[in-house]
Structure 1
Amino acid sequence: MYSTLEVDIRPGLGLGIFEIGSSLWTVIDRLRRLQHAFPQVDIKYDPDTSAITPIILHVRPHLDLLFSGRYQRLHTICLRKLRDPSPPVILKYKDTILSSTDEVLRRVGVSRTFGPTYPGDDLRYPGLWFSFDEDGISEGLKRPHNEDRTQEVKRVLISQKENDGRAQDALDEVEECSNMAGDIARAVVKVHDGVTLYLYPTATSQPLHIKIGETTAQDLTVELGPPLRVHYKEDERMKIHSTSDVAGADRETGYFYNYFQHGLDFLISGPKHVVKKIILHSNIPGSPLFQRYKRCNWEIEGKPEDDEDDTPPRKRFYDRFETISHFLSPREPPPSMLLDRTDEEEDLKLPNPATRLHGYDGIILEVTESSQVVSVTLF
């Protein structure tokens, strides 16, 4: 027996528990916690443009959630199969039931609740769209104009009020909104220095400068809040590549502050409790670390051409490895090491499970076989 899915419409803002502007990481994390209510979720994306592909979460059988390509923010919510009883759907607007097992939502019912709108095959309001097609295949095709008052609504779409859900807006980024407050808008990386974090709301938030060797664990807690996890450093497999004194390295301890909600990790030194390493994650679909971290929109900043240059060159998370590598070192790329994060997870099947680590002076890039950089490590 399926439990009833009861959702309320908030034009331009959301539907039920889903809020326009929410991050992909946040929504999937919430769906995992509510598996009893949403047992089947499919993730669809274009593997050929994995770094900037729009992503669709198909929450069977009623919901399609479209996320923007670069910032992975919930752009459009589509509710469909209103009459499918598995599970039954109750659709509400404020205190009014629009659709249920006993109430069919028709064109006349929409007009009575939301008022007049422009003529057309669909009914469009700011941040809200009622469609009489089962899917979007016929959208944009010429067909006889039909305004039958008894037409049954097949789909309901919610997007920001800046657009009306038309197909040509589907690939746009989500405009900054209150739902993003406290999230990182972008992270500017400087090798041998650290990272500057710019938070939402961008107009009023002060940037946070986290410096390697100076920023303390207490500073991170004050500025970013407590980490979701504190992980004590146990994996010493990379120590074999170290040129440091082995006995001294064995005495060195440290622990990680994992900010999954920001796409960041910080390695803190044991004795002084200052930041030793910073790891920024790209959350690339199909990669081994996909969805463990929220996407951090990082940019690697180079040196300005002269003292008056206030726009130094930068390379971003969606640039291909070859471009970023040449930016960091115009010479040949350094030798790489193979890393398979699925070695200890036999049941995990991925198209590109292995990545390669490319080390430069003060920075390490983790790269997929398709030349996408999935993480950046500063040290």
Structure 2
Amino acid sequence: MVSGTAITPGEGVGGVIKLGSSMYTIVNQLTKYEQKIKIVYSEKEYLDTPITVMVPDLGMRLVFENSNKQELILIEVLDFSKLRLLYNGLALNEIVEQVRPASNEISGSGDSSASSADRLPSPDARGVVSSTESNNESGETEIETLVVPPNLGDIYNKLFGPTYPGRVSKDFRRYILSYPGIAFKFKIDSDELVAQLKSSDNANENNIISTLLNWRKQSDVWCISISVFHGSSWDSFVKSLSSSKSSTKTVSSRRTENSGPQIESLVMNLKMGVIKIIFETEKDRDDKNEFEIRIGQTTQQEVLNILGPPDDYFNKFDSRLLIHNYLSKSLNLDLNDTSIYKFHNYFKYGLDFLYDLNSSSNMHSTGVLTKVIIHNGGIAESLDFMKWNKCRWRVFTGKSSDEKNPFNMKDDVVINSSMYFKQIPQPFFKALSDDVPRPVFLNRNETEFIDNDLTIIEPEELACNSSPPLFDRTSLNGTTTPSVVENKKWGQSKLYGCNRCIMEVIESNGCISSLTIF
């Protein structure tokens, strides 16, 4: 149990759980503090529905929008026995732990291991009584915990002050009171009070809140949950949820402090191999927020100047042509080639960069960029879940662009990271190749590659002695339990390759989990 955690309306709870933070940031922070989490999501409409993260040891439920940046839009406190919440230095709930002698009663069957919870009072309307196990081996003492949640009178009269009347449920057993950025749900536990609320004298919302606040026993109207959100009222927030775009606008302006530079999106011209990195603009700053990088031209040092040092890196020794040994004589291939490449992983940005370090093939000593991999690490059924962040992107074929206007998308086909693979129009693929590419099935749970990469080589490319495109992805540290693999089929995907682009699509929901530009 955390002794004290500040709750800030419209902002968040404590120093870690802040509205506007990405799911990647929150989940990694919770993992760092060894908090257990449970992910709840829609299997069939993954991109169209929010993702819920349950944190049982904190008694919280976190809701993230999913179609855009996977930002935290709602924090719900559902269990007041886990955290002592503070507002302006005042406690919202009370958690009292008392040490008392352990009970020595033995059940009639002679079983002395009966649960201590069976010997404690049942929860009442104003609090929850529970007990932990004995604090020593002899069982001489045990800890009893009394939890007193906030009631309506304390919230309205002492802690937050007056506000507009709330809403009562149809059965008059629930009452929601809303303030800017925070809302409280109360349970009405008195049958007498419920009957009074149903009477004709309480036909409007003003009379209802007056009756509740003047009730003789305020513990009969006790809080069962607290919601923290960004907005002027609970009703306005709920209305914003009806549109994913509305909810995105709501939370995007609440970027957390000291989170560092954030990538807004990537825009890619496939024909020219040009990528524009767009950073989010910060108030009162005139820093450049757009940078261009080019496949085959931009150096490792130039990317480092833009993004800073990577989160991880490793060298890759190229063995991609060994399988084609029998073709070596006819195609004049050098199978003794020991080409060296370096991967830079930017997990926080959802990006990987591959550099060619072979001094004989280029004039740049720091290596030249040969491939960019854009991840969507927020797809729960992908093995990359939460290892990489979600990177937003837009891709167009580049058929109408030229060197002077590399990002001219007029009359072009544009796809983006919010699309399912099935939503990509056929003209996009026909502009890059003759037809929709045939998929290659991949099961990452069952298949291990020696050099952690998959190589796709087209016969035409071998005939031309050109460098074949690689599809490189490092695997997660750890394995998935057999039951999860059997039920969820995690790690199964399809690869669709076309000119300068390879897409990995999750088999179960059709989401594009990664995009490789080469």
Q: Secondary structure at the match of 2:298?
A: coil
1:58 aligns with 2:54: yes
Selected match of 2:511 from 365, 372, 377: 372
Equivalent position amino acid for 1:316 in 2: N
1:336 aligns with 2:423: no
Selected match of 2:163 from 94, 103, 117: 117
Identity %: 25
**Residues 311 and 24 (structure 1 numbering): CA distance in 2 closer, same or farther, change over 3 Å?**
farther
Equivalent position amino acid for 1:130 in 2: F
Selected match of 2:73 from 61, 72, 75: 75
1:6 aligns with 2:89: no
Alignment RMSD: 2.9
Q: Distance in 2 between matches of 1:256 and 1:181?
A: 23
The equivalent residue for 1:139 is none
Selected match of 2:239 from 144, 168, 191: 168
**Residues 224 and 162 (structure 1 numbering): CA distance in 2 closer, same or farther, change over 3 Å?**
farther
Q: Secondary structure at the match of 2:424?
A: helix
Q: CA deviation at 1:312?
A: 4.6
1:213-233 CA deviation, whole Å, 9 max, x = no partner?
Answer: 222222222211111001222
Q: Secondary structure at the match of 1:168?
A: helix
The 8 Å contact of residues 23 and 72 in structure 1, kept in 2 or not, is answered as yes
Greater CA radius of gyration, 1 or 2? 2
Q: CA deviation at 1:303?
A: 3.4
Q: CA deviation at 1:255?
A: 0.9
Matches within 5 A, 1:120-135: 120-121=166-167, 122-133=176-187
Equivalent position amino acid for 1:363 in 2: C
**Residues 195 and 202 (structure 1 numbering): CA distance in 2 closer, same or farther, change over 3 Å?**
farther
Q: Distance in 2 between matches of 1:201 and 1:239?
A: 47
1:229 aligns with 2:312: yes
Matches within 5 A, 1:156-235: 156-161=226-231, 164=234, 166-170=237-241, 171=244, 172-173=247-248, 174-179=251-256, 182-191=261-270, 192-201=272-281, 205-234=288-317
Q: CA deviation at 1:99?
A: 1.3
Q: Secondary structure at the match of 1:158?
A: strand
Selected match of 1:321 from 397, 421, 427: 421
The equivalent residue for 1:108 is 153
Q: CA deviation at 1:34?
A: 1.0
Equivalent position amino acid for 1:222 in 2: N
Q: Secondary structure at the match of 2:278?
A: strand
Matches within 5 A, 1:256-335: 256-271=343-358, 272=364, 273-283=367-377, 284-303=379-398, 312-324=412-424, 326-330=426-430, 331-335=434-438
Q: Distance in 2 between matches of 1:328 and 1:309?
A: 13
Q: Distance in 2 between matches of 1:239 and 1:27?
A: 43
1:89 aligns with 2:83: yes
Q: Distance in 1 between matches of 2:166 and 2:369?
A: 58
Equivalent position amino acid for 1:356 in 2: K
TM-score by length of 1: 0.85
The 8 Å contact of residues 322 and 335 in structure 2, kept in 1 or not, is answered as no
Q: Distance in 1 between matches of 2:64 and 2:260?
A: 18
Q: Any stretches of 5+ residues in structure 2 without a counterpart?
A: 97-147, 168-175, 189-196, 199-204, 359-363, 449-478
Q: Any stretches of 5+ residues in structure 1 without a counterpart?
A: 135-142
**Residues 279 and 116 (structure 1 numbering): CA distance in 2 closer, same or farther, change over 3 Å?**
same
1:179-208 CA deviation, whole Å, 9 max, x = no partner?
Answer: 265111111121142321211227755212
1:317-364 CA deviation, whole Å, 9 max, x = no partner?
Answer: 232324436243224323332222212546363424221222111111
Q: CA deviation at 1:164?
A: 3.2
1:270-319 CA deviation, whole Å, 9 max, x = no partner?
Answer: 13412110000123221222212111111112337699865754111232
The 8 Å contact of residues 266 and 393 in structure 2, kept in 1 or not, is answered as yes
Q: Distance in 2 between matches of 1:263 and 1:249?
A: 34
The 8 Å contact of residues 318 and 341 in structure 2, kept in 1 or not, is answered as no
Q: Distance in 1 between matches of 2:517 and 2:86?
A: 49
The 8 Å contact of residues 414 and 428 in structure 2, kept in 1 or not, is answered as no
**Residues 6 and 279 (structure 1 numbering): CA distance in 2 closer, same or farther, change over 3 Å?**
same
Q: Distance in 1 between matches of 2:187 and 2:343?
A: 51
Q: Secondary structure at the match of 1:118?
A: coil
**Residues 4 and 50 (structure 1 numbering): CA distance in 2 closer, same or farther, change over 3 Å?**
same
Higher helix proportion: 2
Q: Distance in 1 between matches of 2:429 and 2:160?
A: 59
Q: Secondary structure at the match of 1:153?
A: strand
1:356 aligns with 2:494: yes
Selected match of 1:45 from 37, 41, 66: 41
Does 53-62 or 260-269 show the bigger shift? 53-62
The 8 Å contact of residues 339 and 355 in structure 1, kept in 2 or not, is answered as yes
The 8 Å contact of residues 439 and 495 in structure 2, kept in 1 or not, is answered as yes
Q: Distance in 2 between matches of 1:196 and 1:133?
A: 53
TM-score by length of 2: 0.64
Equivalenced residues, count: 362
Q: CA deviation at 1:169?
A: 3.0
The 8 Å contact of residues 163 and 169 in structure 1, kept in 2 or not, is answered as no
Q: Distance in 2 between matches of 1:224 and 1:42?
A: 32
